[in-house]
Structure 1
């Protein structure tokens, strides 16, 4: 069996799933690009569905591990913890931009795999964000906000470069794989944290947050 065959299969699958879509990609396509035979794919993943599940699970396992590790620094402050978490999650996604783009596209479809992810990894993600927001309110670092709406906004910011990569390139002429974009985008998210959440900037007179 070819050395590093499993890694080559995963790499080929991510490229093809992202460019041709899951339905438009065959096991033969993956085998050809990975330079292995179809039996090798069956050995590691059983079938195409098994390979899809592995790619999605592999992505979210790493994503949640980052959240878990960063959350241990919560005693440094909620704002500091949230900024570090956002930084590391974005960096991970930019380093795996094709995988992130494909995974988020698949998660937008109501399938058994996406429902399983929602029931496991998405709930874990919600838990960590909710804990940070609640600590921020408790420690008077953050202004009071609706936590579900904060998560909606933050998730949109974290996912946008990967769910709309074609729009960024073709319409805005912005390239999310470039280091300049990563730095600028991260700076803007940190600004969102400072301006939207933090209590050291006064609320507008008469503002009511429910």
Structure 2
């Protein structure tokens, strides 16, 4: 069996899933691009569905690990912690742009794999976001807002460039695959945190809206 066949299969699958869609990609297409036998895919993943599940797990395991590591900075303040989360997640998504774009698009389709992701990784993500926002309210760093809506807005900022890469390139002339993108876009996210979320006016303790 080809050395590093599993890695080659995953790389080929990600590229094809992202460009042709999951349903538009065949096992034969993946095997051809990866330069392996179809039997190699069956050996490592059983079938295309198993390969899809691996891609989701591969993405979200790393995603949640980034969140957990960034959360360690919470003692420096909620604002600092949220900026660290933004920086680490944005960098991770840019480094894995094809996988990120495919996973986010596939998450909009109701399926068994997506439901499993929602019941595990998405709940973990919500837990860390909620803890950061609650700390921000408690420490008077953030203006009181509805936490579900804050999570929605913050996730939208992080996901938009990868959900709509064609729109970003062709209409806005923004290229998430370029090296300078992270640095430039982070400034905009930090501005949202500093100007929309944070407040210089003292807020009464306990003013938390959930």
Aligned to 2:189: 189
Give the TM-score normalised by structure 2: 0.94
Q: Distance in 2 between matches of 1:91 and 1:27?
A: 30
Structure 1 residue runs of 4 or more that deviate by more than 4 Å after TM superposition: none
What RMSD, in angstroms, separates the aligned Cα atoms of the two structures? 1.5
Tell me by how many angstroms 1:201 deviates.
Answer: 6.3
Aligned residues: 205
Tell me the residue number matched to 2:156: 156
What are structure 1's unaligned runs of at least 5 residues?
204-208
User: Shift of residue 17 of structure 1?
Assistant: 0.3
- After superposition, where does 1:48-67 map in structure 2 within 5 Å? 48-67=48-67
Q: Deviations over 1:107-139 (max 9, x none)?
A: 000111111111111110000000000001101
**In structure 2, what is the equivalent of residue 77 of structure 1?**
77
Aligned to 1:46: 46
Partners of 1:11 and 1:33 lie apart in 2 by 9
Q: Which residue is 2:206 aligned to? A: none
> Which consecutive residues of structure 2, in runs of 5 or more, have no partner in the other structure?
204-208
Aligned to 2:4: 4
List aligned pairs for 1:1-210, cutoff 5 A: 1-200=1-200
Secondary structure (helix, strand or coil) at the match of 1:14 reads helix
* TM-score for both structures, normalised by structure 1: 0.94
8 A Cα contact 1:195 1:201, kept in partner: no
Q: 1:56: Cα distance to partner?
A: 0.7
Partners of 1:4 and 1:169 lie apart in 2 by 33
Post-superposition offset of 1:181: 2.2
Deviation of 1:173 (Å): 2.0
